[in-house]
Amino acid sequence: MTVTDTLSAAAMPVTTDALVRVEGLRKLFPLNGGFLRQPDSFIYAVDDLSFTIPRGESLALVGESGSGKTTTGKLLVRLLDPSAGHIHMNVDGDPMDVTTLQGSQTKRFRRQVQMIFQDPYESLNPRRTIFDTVAEPLAVQGIGNVLDRQERVAEMLALVGLTPPSSYLFRFPHELSGGQRQRIAIARALIIEPAFVVADEPTSMLDVSIRTGIMKLMQDLADRLGVTYLYITHDLAVARYMSQRIAVMYLGKIVEMGDTEEVLHNPQHPYTQALLSAVPIPDPRQRRDPIPLKGSVSKPVDPAPRCRFYDRCPLAAKVCEINDHPPLEGKGAGHKVACYVVRSPRETAQAV
Ligand SMILES: Nc1ncnc2c1ncn2[C@@H]1O[C@H](COP(=O)(O)OP(=O)(O)OP(=O)(O)O)[C@@H](O)[C@H]1O
Ligand code: SF4
Ligand SMILES: [Mg+2]
């Protein structure tokens, strides 16, 4: 599938009500530390991210392997604690700081926020029936009695296309295909009707033939249940289908962000331009100039303060070498770019 494929871009209602607001978010993983031993270095997996996700405007997080997408997702659902920064979430009209949740706030947060993982084979407990798996968030939240839960689980299984639900309720994950398991994972995440779901490459391990079906399902459920996604993917066509806004990450930093259609049609950061130039386009008249990047993504271990993309950038100049990593600056209409130079894709290709 390509960016220009027939899948039309997502069309959910746009509001300005901020659901998630992230400020200066940072996650460092220590290296070579241990008992009574200070780490000698750190991986800057997520480094000073700030962004807002309005309610109803799903955000796609894209970038190559190791850019910090999963770490960002886990921070937002509090599977990881940040090293610095704040995450504010608007839960039922009550803004809460996710980084300092306590007591009943934690339970209310858990009701509104869920995560769907990449691997449907690892994310389901092999010893629990489908009913127990999907009903688990209801049980944790103390919602309904056993009969109510059976009814809700059956409804949810039907919604995710596992019909008749009665033939799935008491089966185990090993009896299902990868696509069916991911449908179960989606049912489990959405059964408590959360406001915000982090979906971490939920289709990347599935057979190509069933990926579109799962994406359509997630899009449909988002519309019906009012869910906003942080949708993690390295596939720009998937990002286009699943999101209203997109953030491109490189080595722990967001380097470009804006409306998905605007960023994909008018990429301004050389990294985004290079990613797009690698997407195959069937129509030769629309073909882009290739922007091959030198080297490969490294690990951001105690990175130099300069631009994270410097070593691979075709446009790298003195200004990039002597200054800190560029700030994410507005270029109009909510489009933000972190680059001192900024050239058109053609000019970037010519600089290679
Ligand atoms: N628990 C951990 N301990 C140490 N380093 C980690 C840990 N989790 C992630 N990292 C490192 O942090 C960086 C970002 O990893 P992350 O998994 O967030 O990237 P990603 O963008 O999700 O990559 P992928 O596309 O491969 O899933 C990588 O360099 C990774 O090796
Ligand atoms: S700031 Fe410089 S090195 Fe960084 S992306 Fe822009 S041109 Fe490349
Ligand atoms: Mg990941």
Domain ranges, residue 20: 1-32+40-122+194-352
| Mean of all residue pLDDT scores within the chain | 91
Number of residues assigned to the chain? 352
Tell me which residue has tokens 């960016």: 3
Q: pLDDT tens-digit profile of 156-166?
A: 999 999 999 99
Q: pLDDT tens-digit profile of 105-152?
A: 888 899 999 999 998 888 899 999 999 999 999 999 999 999 999 999
**Domain holding 302: CATH number?**
3.40.50.300
- pLDDT of res. 173: 95
pTM: 0.93
What Cα–Cα distance (Å) separates residue 84 from each residue in 22, 49, 100?
11, 10, 12
Q: Which residue, among 67, 9, 2, has the nearest Cα to 308 in the 3D structure?
A: 67
Separation of CA 71 and ligand 1 centre (Å): 6
Beta strands in the chain (DSSP E): 18-31, 41-54, 59-62, 84-91, 94-97, 113-116, 196-200, 228-232, 245-250, 253-259, 329-330, 336-337
**Residues 63, 49: contact at Cβ < 8 Å?**
no
- pLDDT of res. 206: 84
Provide, rounded to the nearest whole percent, the portion of the chain with pLDDT above 70. Answer: 95
Range 201-220 average pLDDT: 90
- pLDDT of res. 3: 40
Lowest-confidence range among 26-40, 67-81, 172-186, 298-312? 26-40
Per the structure, how many domains does the chain have?
1
Ligand 1 pocket member 234 (CB < 6 A): yes
Inside any domain, residue 312: yes
- Order across the sheet with 196-200: list the strands: 113-116, 196-200, 228-232, 59-62, 245-250, 253-259, 336-337, 329-330
Ligand 2 pocket member 184 (CB < 6 A): no
Q: pLDDT tens-digit profile of 172-192?
A: 999 999 999 999 999 999 999
pLDDT class for 16, splitting at 50, 70, 90?
low
Inside any domain, residue 20: yes
Range 63-92 average pLDDT: 95
Backbone angles phi, psi at 280, to 5 degrees: -65, 135
Neighbours of ion ligand 3 (CB under 5 A): 69-70
Inside any domain, residue 310: yes
Of all ligands present, the nearest one to the C-alpha of 45 is 1
**Residues 72, 85: contact at Cβ < 8 Å?**
no
Inside any domain, residue 268: yes
pLDDT class for 9, splitting at 50, 70, 90?
very low
Q: How far apart are CA 284 and CA 241, in angstroms?
A: 22
Separation of CA 73 and ligand 3 centre (Å): 9
